[in-house]
Structure 1
Amino acid sequence: MLFYDFEVFVEDWMVVIMDSDSHSTNIIVNDTKKFIDFYHQHESDIWVGYNSRHYDQYIAKAIIAGFEPQEMNNWVIEENKMGWQFSRSLFKIQFYNFDIMTQRGQSLKQLEGFMGDSVEETSVDFTINRKLTDEEIEEVIHYCTHDVEETINVFMARQEEFQTTIGLVNEFNLPIKYVTKTKAQLSAIILEAKQPESERDDEMDISFPDTLDIHKYADVKTFYENTRDYEQTYTKEIAGVKHIFAWGGLHGAKENYHGKGTIINVDVGSYYPTIMIRYGYTSRNIRDPQKYANIRKTRLEYKKQGDPRQGPYKIVLNSTYGAMKDKYNGLYDPRQANNVCVGGMLLLLDLIEKLEPYVELVQSNTDGLYIRLLNDDDFDTIDDICYEWETRTGMGLDFHYFDEVFQKDVNNYIMIDRESGTVKTKGAYVKKLSDLDYDLPIVNKALVDYFVEGTPIEETINECNDLRQFQRVVKLSYKFDGASLGNQRIQGKVQRVFASKNQSAARLYKVKQGHLEKISYTPEHVFIDNGNVSNKKIPTELDRGWYIRLAKTRAKDFGGF
């Protein structure tokens, strides 16, 4: 397996390639023959990059096809066109690229920041209209090598992404060349989906599950019967909770809420796939709709046996709905996607209507509900209602129990089962952070420890001496020209900032057309450390008080304090 990264300038280009098998590093600068020779020696290897699906693989293919890499660079970067549109000759080139970037718009530098590694960038301007000096080339190679090393680190943290892709290729007997595809693209290939030659014009022709039984909230169904515009929404109080009905799933929650008692997560298992099969809402582009149903059946059999092969089948099932909204995917069928989404919302609304007399609705979301029993003696009644709903609709429900909830809104909550010690968190403020998502971790920890263990927020923050725990990683989007520390412009789209006790320290701003704009959740006074902060001790300059105040503000949003 090869890990690689290209850098292309006006009159120079280079690539750093690291071979995971031989543990060797190859650096090629402006040498077309050398790169093509290397490629032919490794034509059957898998090349792993970051954002390489959209950029690096096409730089490589352009060189192999006899084009200058600058031509492809300008095509993709300057003209904002897709690499595959550049030349038909690229289709003939075998290049097994695997892109470890999973979230569009999330840069490698941002992940480096989360991991506590250096996010410093080369000072060499990519628009320099001349040949680079030897010193400049050496500097670029240094940073390019660093980025390849970081790509390997990201790959190791996301090995499951690669394993599931390989699992799809192997389980469904696909050619290895399909390792380059996204999971949604692979799902379309596996299901033999192909868009019709002429575009359909029935996107808003919504049909409803024939098992629906809604009375009190029938006006919601009427809204979907009459609307023909995605901009239209319908606001309705459902079981005492405000809901906004639109086109993205059911969402409603008590805000700034704290509750105790018997709290049940009523979760619909494999909701969208089951709806697609039960009500005929699979993409009409699938050659044989029964194949989707068979994949679900096989997956359930493997899951029951504890067979890890269930993984690839689950990917196909769960990727299909999203792919039906992607106009570039073979599964694209927006009418069916709308049927799935609206049908799912109304079926849950049906269940809420039946449960409402016996429960407090804590929140509703795309595939389930959180309810609090008004009287524990009503559990059998609630169980019977859920069973009737399952039998009538063809869905399956799972119950998960909690005894306390702190909730900011539908996307941010802490559910606690104190008897078993189970804690479920959701949302940026309280979720468990990973090495690739590590922003203000001390604040998250302080909140969860406060709500679950009763630990004072000050105690958690004051006793921590690991600088990385206090980092705020800021990434500026392409819409901004750069960053400024006070009135002084600084280099880099990614900055790692910390709160400073120094009252003369400046604030970090983002710059747009010469104007300074504040960045959310950054202190008024900061210091920046873009080097490696792993295992780095906290300097006396760090203002712990800022983190304490932020944590307490967030705690209030969850119904605490």
Structure 2
Amino acid sequence: MIFYDFEVFKHDWLAVFIDVTRKTEQVIVNNPDELKALYEANTSDIWVGFNNRHYDQYIMKGILLGLDPKRINDWIIVQKREGWQFSSVFNKIPMTNYDVMPNPPVGLKTMEGFLGSNIKETGVPFDINRKLTKAEIEETIKYCRHDVEQTIKVFLEKIDEFNAMHGIVQAFPDMVSLSNIGDSEARITAKVLGCVRKNFKDEFDYFFLPCLRLNKYKYVQDWFEEKRKEALSLDLQNCDKYDKQIWYKTQNLDTVVAGIPHSFGFGGLHGAASTPIHKTGQILHVDVNNYYPSMLIAWGLVTRAATNDNYTQVYKTRKALKKGQVAAAKAGDKAEAKRLKKAQLPYKKMLNALSGGMKDETNPAYDPRNNNCMCINGQLMLLDLIEHLEVIPGFELIQSNTDGLIIWIPDTDEAFEMVDDICWEWEQRCSTEYCEILLELDNISEIYQKDVNNYLWIGADGGVERIGAYVKELSAVDNDLPILNKALVEYMVHKTPVEQTINQCDDLIMFQKIVKLSEKYDWVEHEHCTPVITKTGVRVIKEIYEYPEKVRYTYKSYRVFASNSQDDGRLLRRKKVKPKGEKFGNTPDHCFICNDDVCGVKVPHNLDKGWYIDLAKKRLKQFGIVA
């Protein structure tokens, strides 16, 4: 396994390769013959990079083919074209590439920032119009090496994803090979299913499943029927894909279901109260087990482009592994439970990836009609469940989402038995001889909800479920303002005051905010000097800070901390055509920058912990908590 990264200039190119198996490094500068020798000696290896799927592999292949790497670079970076579109001759150079970049994309510098690493950038401009000096080449090698080392770190943090893709290759050797390990999850799933690209031309001929029993909310089903007629009358299935995307995005039905606002459309169901919720008592998470995969199999909606029954086999294999995991956990065998949980990941990824592949015109699994059937009926079946549960005296719906509900009922045996009976009847109607569609009821002792995408609940068993940016469990490669997540969760779960959590923390990395300058802006300014302070107001006096001096930066990424020094002002994004800058979101009015490595660094005297305490309280207030 070789990790690599290319840097390309008008008259120079260089690359750093780190072979983690042999523990060797090779730096190549402007030497195609040396690159060719390295490639030929390692043709069977996996070449790992960050965004190499879209960039580095084409630079390397181009150099091996005698093409100008600068032309390829500009094609991808400046013209924003796909590398494979540059030339079909790239197909002559076989390479097994694995891309560490996550999807949706997050830049390497941002991830380096999350890791706490040094995020300083090279001072050598990439648009330099001459040969690089020896010093410039050495500096570029230094930063290129750093990026390769950081790519290795990111890979190790996300190694379960690599193992999952490798697990797919091992599980289906007749359908995929190691060369497919760099494919997207949806594309490798299409290969496992033996999909053959077909043009069905019936995207809007979707239908409603016979298991539906809607009465009170039948108008939602009628709305989808009207949209089907509208799409057919517009001949949308033969229109440009961008026109279809615009149409899809504008189709939403906003209505009230069980007393709370809901939104229906062609993506999924979302329903939550317009105000924050904090509840205790008899709360149930009514979760549909493997909802979309179960529905696809039960109602024959697996892509019609598939030529085998592997999707069902994947489903059954994952189900058996999960059953074993549960049994091991109950028996107290944590190691075996953990092993079986990891073993499920390849199968889980394939099951979940198919729905996206069915809506992707470039994927051999493309079957938009069946995808529409799945998404629409999935929403209507949950709406059906709500309608039947709503008859329970005292029933309250807390939220609805794509694959389940959270409800509150009176804490009585009678109410719970009614839920159980209604859920069982729904399962019987919605399941078929091909696959069961089953519900799981999880007991929740307490829930805090900001909206349908941000909530935390504490299970009856003490387990904590955390959903949404404010409370989710962060990781080394997703580590933005981590002290705030910790403070909110500690308050909700243990009632620990946010002041206590924040003041007792002494690790600087916990307070970091990573920001990145987008292509829409030209440079960054940091207000940094002795400010001119003016006071306004009569009853309420407000101080306004003006900074006549600003420090200008052209770096893309910044690690920002709240400062208690008045000499530190805001961090601003600037555009040439605008006289004033714009403050980066979620950054303080007084801040300092530290782009050095902060791992193991303790909090300095100028960190303003009060800013984090105030922001934590503001976020708690969004959950309906006044702390």
Quick check: TM above 0.5?
yes
CA contact (8 A) 1:360 1:374 kept: no
Q: Which range moved further: 163-172 or 222-231?
A: 222-231
2:188 corresponds to 1:186: yes
Mapping 1:76-225, distance limit 5 Å: 76-173=76-173, 174-196=176-198, 199-225=199-225
2:355 corresponds to 1:321: yes
Distance 1:68 1:272, change over 3 A: same
2:519 corresponds to 1:478: yes
Mapping 1:377-392, distance limit 5 Å: 377=413, 378-392=415-429
Tell me the residue number matched to 1:57: 57
Tell me the residue number matched to 2:403: 367
CA contact (8 A) 2:255 2:262 kept: yes
Tell me the residue number matched to 2:452: 410
CA contact (8 A) 2:281 2:411 kept: no
Distance 1:511 1:204, change over 3 A: farther
Alpha-carbon distance, 1:513 to partner:
4.4
**CA offsets per residue over residues 302-361 of structure 1, 9 Å max, x none?**
443455654333222111001112121111222221111111100000001111132211
**Which of the numbers 528, 536, 543 marks the counterpart of 2:601?**
536
CA distance in 2, matches of 1:527, 1:339: 52
Tell me the residue number matched to 1:337: 371
Over aligned residue pairs, what C-alpha RMSD do you find?
Answer: 1.5
Tell me the residue number matched to 1:494: 557
CA distance in 1, matches of 2:583, 2:264: 33
Percent of aligned pairs with the same residue? 46
CA distance in 1, matches of 2:588, 2:324: 52
Alpha-carbon distance, 1:479 to partner:
3.0
2:388 corresponds to 1:354: yes
One-letter code aligned to 1:432: E
Alpha-carbon distance, 1:375 to partner:
4.1
**Which of the numbers 396, 410, 417 marks the counterpart of 2:438?**
396
Tell me the residue number matched to 1:270: 290
Tell me the residue number matched to 2:542: none
CA distance in 2, matches of 1:154, 1:96: 19
**CA offsets per residue over residues 244-300 of structure 1, 9 Å max, x none?**
112221111123111110111111011001111112222222124x33223322332
Mapping 1:433-448, distance limit 5 Å: 433-448=474-489
SS of the residue corresponding to residue 357 of structure 1 reads coil
CA contact (8 A) 1:116 1:532 kept: yes
Tell me the residue number matched to 1:431: 472
CA contact (8 A) 1:362 1:371 kept: yes
One-letter code aligned to 2:406: Y
**CA offsets per residue over residues 511-539 of structure 1, 9 Å max, x none?**
34443222211101110000001111111
Q: Which range moved further: 485-494 or 298-307?
A: 298-307
CA contact (8 A) 1:285 1:333 kept: yes
One-letter code aligned to 1:449: E
**CA offsets per residue over residues 9-66 of structure 1, 9 Å max, x none?**
1111000000112211100001111111111111111111000100001111111112
SS of the residue corresponding to residue 606 of structure 2 reads coil
Alpha-carbon distance, 1:445 to partner:
0.8
Point out where structure 2 has 5 or more consecutive residues left out of the alignment. 232-246, 326-339, 432-436, 528-549
SS of the residue corresponding to residue 261 of structure 1 reads strand
2:502 corresponds to 1:458: no
One-letter code aligned to 2:439: L
2:52 corresponds to 1:69: no
2:279 corresponds to 1:259: yes
Q: Which range moved further: 73-82 or 152-161?
A: 73-82
Q: Which range moved further: 82-91 or 378-387?
A: 82-91
Distance 1:131 1:468, change over 3 A: same
One-letter code aligned to 1:549: D
CA contact (8 A) 2:192 2:310 kept: no
CA distance in 2, matches of 1:149, 1:295: 36
Q: Which range moved further: 278-287 or 149-158?
A: 278-287
CA distance in 1, matches of 2:91, 2:523: 37
Tell me the residue number matched to 2:235: none
SS of the residue corresponding to residue 485 of structure 1 reads strand
SS of the residue corresponding to residue 507 of structure 1 reads strand
**CA offsets per residue over residues 375-428 of structure 1, 9 Å max, x none?**
4231011100000000110111111111111110011111013x5321111111
Distance 1:180 1:423, change over 3 A: closer
**Which of the numbers 553, 556, 570 marks the counterpart of 1:507?**
570
CA distance in 2, matches of 1:318, 1:512: 42
Alpha-carbon distance, 1:481 to partner:
2.8
Distance 1:463 1:298, change over 3 A: closer
CA distance in 2, matches of 1:523, 1:23: 43
CA distance in 1, matches of 2:511, 2:349: 36
CA distance in 1, matches of 2:551, 2:399: 46
One-letter code aligned to 1:523: P
CA distance in 1, matches of 2:575, 2:226: 42
CA distance in 2, matches of 1:215, 1:433: 43
**CA offsets per residue over residues 81-126 of structure 1, 9 Å max, x none?**
1111222221121111110112243101000100111111001100
Tell me the residue number matched to 2:307: 287
CA contact (8 A) 1:178 1:186 kept: yes
Tell me the residue number matched to 1:237: 256
CA distance in 1, matches of 2:606, 2:344: 52
CA contact (8 A) 1:441 1:470 kept: yes
One-letter code aligned to 1:387: W
CA contact (8 A) 2:513 2:587 kept: yes
SS of the residue corresponding to residue 163 of structure 2 reads helix
Q: Which range moved further: 478-487 or 4-13?
A: 478-487
One-letter code aligned to 1:383: D
Alpha-carbon distance, 1:373 to partner:
1.0
2:39 corresponds to 1:5: no
Point out where structure 1 has 5 or more consecutive residues left out of the alignment. none
CA distance in 2, matches of 1:66, 1:264: 64
**CA offsets per residue over residues 419-465 of structure 1, 9 Å max, x none?**
53211111110111100011111111111111111111111111111
SS of the residue corresponding to residue 596 of structure 2 reads coil
One-letter code aligned to 1:36: K
One-letter code aligned to 2:416: F
CA distance in 2, matches of 1:549, 1:350: 43
Q: Which range moved further: 43-52 or 472-481?
A: 472-481
Alpha-carbon distance, 1:365 to partner:
0.6
CA distance in 2, matches of 1:555, 1:104: 28
**CA offsets per residue over residues 466-500 of structure 1, 9 Å max, x none?**
11110001123333334222354312211100011
CA distance in 1, matches of 2:497, 2:381: 42
CA distance in 1, matches of 2:471, 2:62: 45
One-letter code aligned to 2:398: V
